[in-house]
Amino acid sequence: MSIRLEHWERISITDATKASERRVVSYSSARRRACARPSNRSVKGVHLADERLANLPATMQHTTRPATPYFASIPPQLYERLRRVDEAHGARDAPIFTWYAHYAKASQWVGVVQLDGLQLELLPKIHDDDADRPAADARAALVTMLAYAGDVPLRLRDLASLLERNADLGEVLAAMFAERLVEELARGPERNYVMRRENLTTFRGKLAVRKHLALNAAHRERFLCDHDELVSDTALNQVLRAACVLLAGTVRARRTGDLLARCLAVLDDVADIVVTATILERVAITRQNERFAPLLAFCRMLFAGRAPTAQSGPTRTFSLLFDMNAVFERFVAGFIAREVLPLLPAGWKSHSQARGHTRHLLLSAGRGVLRLAPDLLLERPDGSLLVIDTKWKRLTPGAERRSVSRADLYQLYAYGQRFQATRSVLLYPHVEGVVPERFDVLGDDDVISESRIDVRYLRVHGLQSRPARDVLADQLARELSS
C-alpha cells in the first residue's frame, strides 16, 4: 500500500476491516495539510470521497476537517509497524509523529517512510489551496530546496529534467543518486593503494627478509614481498555499493533500476558490507575523491534511516527524512550564496550559521553563556552586519492577531543588539494574505532607534524553473541592499 501525503491540513489512515477496532493516523500540524491518494501499487479502496464522511463513526469524524476529506485504510499490523518505526527513529532523532490514543500527528519531517506493506510520502505545504494542486508542485519545491541546501547529489542544471517524471519522492531521490553516481563512476571509481604481502615467483616491491628466509629456504624461486596494490575495494566504494543495493530493492522505475545495475557492475570487485555508523565515520573525503562528497552525504542520510534498533525489531524498514526547519534554513543560505550575492555590489559576504562570528549573550566566570548563532550573517562591504533568521512556519494572515511569535521577535532583537546590526530580517514561507512587516526598535525614552526587524516571505513553489529562480534572486537582492 502506498500513501501519498500531499497537502498540509490532515491525513487519516484508519483500519476499515473491523469497525470495533478502528485506529486513525492523522497527519496534521499548523504548517501542513495532507491528502492521501493511492499510487499504482495501492490496494483497492484506499481513497474515500467526501460523501462517505457521513458514514464514519463520530470518534473518527473529529480527526478530520471538511476541507480535507481523504482517508486511507491500513490494517492494524501496519499501524503498529509504523509506530515501532517511529519509536526507532525517535531513539536516534526527533519522532516523525506525535502519537495519541487513537491517532498521530506528523511533526516537521518530510520525505519517505517505507516498511513491509506500506509507503508514506511526506511533502511540505507550499500552497493554501493544495487540495487543487498536484503533488508534483510540492515535490518539485522540496527537491529544489534540497538541491540548494546541499542535501541531495543534484546539479541545478539537471533539476527540470528530473522533475518532469511523474514519480513519487522516493523514486525521484533514487534516480537523482543513480544518475549522479553513473556520471562519477564513468570518470573512474575511487582507487587506493593498499599494502599486500604475497609469496610471489617474481620480485615485487620490498622483500620481507626475515620471513622470506624462514618460509622460502627450500624454494629459491619464491619471494615473500611487501608491495602496494591499487584497488577499488575502498570504504567509500563499499558504502556506495551498499546504497545501490538498498535502493535497487525499493525503486519501481525501470530506468532507475538499470542505472543502479550499471553502478553495481562497475563496483563488482567491491565487497558487500553492512553499513554501520562506524564504517561511515571511517570514510574520509580528500582532494582525490571530493567529487563523491555529495553522494556520500546522501548515503549518510540514507543509512541513518536504515539503522536497526531494538525497538524496530526484525521489520524491514527504510526511511529518508528531512527536517523542514533545517532544509529551509540551508536552502536560504545556499540560494543567497549562489544566486543573490553575485547581484550585489562587490564585497558582500555570507556566513552560514555565523561561522567565525558567533558571540555569547552573557559571561559567567570568564566563560560565555547563551551562544548566539543566527542562521545567516551577511557582511556588507563596510564590515557592518545584516542578520537573517529563517522559520519554516505558516503564519496566520490578518490584522486581528499578531502572527509573528513573540519568541521569534525576542530572538531577532537579541541577535541585532549583540551583533550591532541595524537591520535584522525574519524569513518565512509565503502564505496568501500575509504582508511584510516592520518593527522599529525603541531606544531610551521610547525614541525610535536606527535598528529594525523586518518580516519577509519567500515563495518557494515554481523554483525548479530558471526564470522563477531569477525573479526570486532579484527580489532578494533589492530587499537586502535597501
Q: Rounded to 5, what percent of the chain is helix, strand, coil? A: 40, 25, 40
State the pLDDT at residue 291.
93
Answer with the residue of higher pLDDT: 157 or 190.
190
DSSP one-letter string for 281-324: HH----TTTGGGHHHHHHHHHHHHTT---TTTTT--EEEEEEEH
**Tens digit of each residue's pLDDT (9 = 90 or more) over 190-210:** 998 888 888 988 888 888 888
Grid-cell match 540514507, residue found: 302
**Per DSSP, what are the bridge partners of residue 142?**
none
* Confidence band, pLDDT 50/70/90 cuts, at residue 118: confident
**Tens digit of each residue's pLDDT (9 = 90 or more) over 289-315:** 999 999 999 999 888 755 433 334 444
Note the pTM of the prediction, 2 decimals. Answer: 0.77
State the pLDDT at residue 84.
82
Domains contained in the chain, CATH given: 2-133 (no CATH), 142-189+234-307 (no CATH), 192-231 (no CATH), 325-481 (3.40.1350)
What is the percentage of the chain residues whose pLDDT exceeds 90? 35
**Tens digit of each residue's pLDDT (9 = 90 or more) over 390-447:** 999 877 766 544 578 889 999 999 999 999 999 999 999 988 888 888 999 998 888 8
Burial zone of 332 (CB within 10 Å; 0-12 exposed, 13-18 middle, 19+ buried):
buried
State the pLDDT at residue 109.
87
SS3 117: coil
Tell me if 317 sits within 8 A of 85, measured CB to CB. Answer: yes
Q: Report, as an integer, the average pLDDT of 40-51.
A: 27
Buried residues in 63-96 as b, exposed as e (16+ CB within 10 A) = bbeeebbbbbbbbeebbebbbbbbbbbbeeeebb
**Per DSSP, what are the bridge partners of residue 423?**
452
Tell me if 390 sits within 8 A of 411, measured CB to CB. Answer: no
SS3 191: coil
SS3 409: helix
State the pLDDT at residue 2.
54
d(CA 68, CA 32): 11
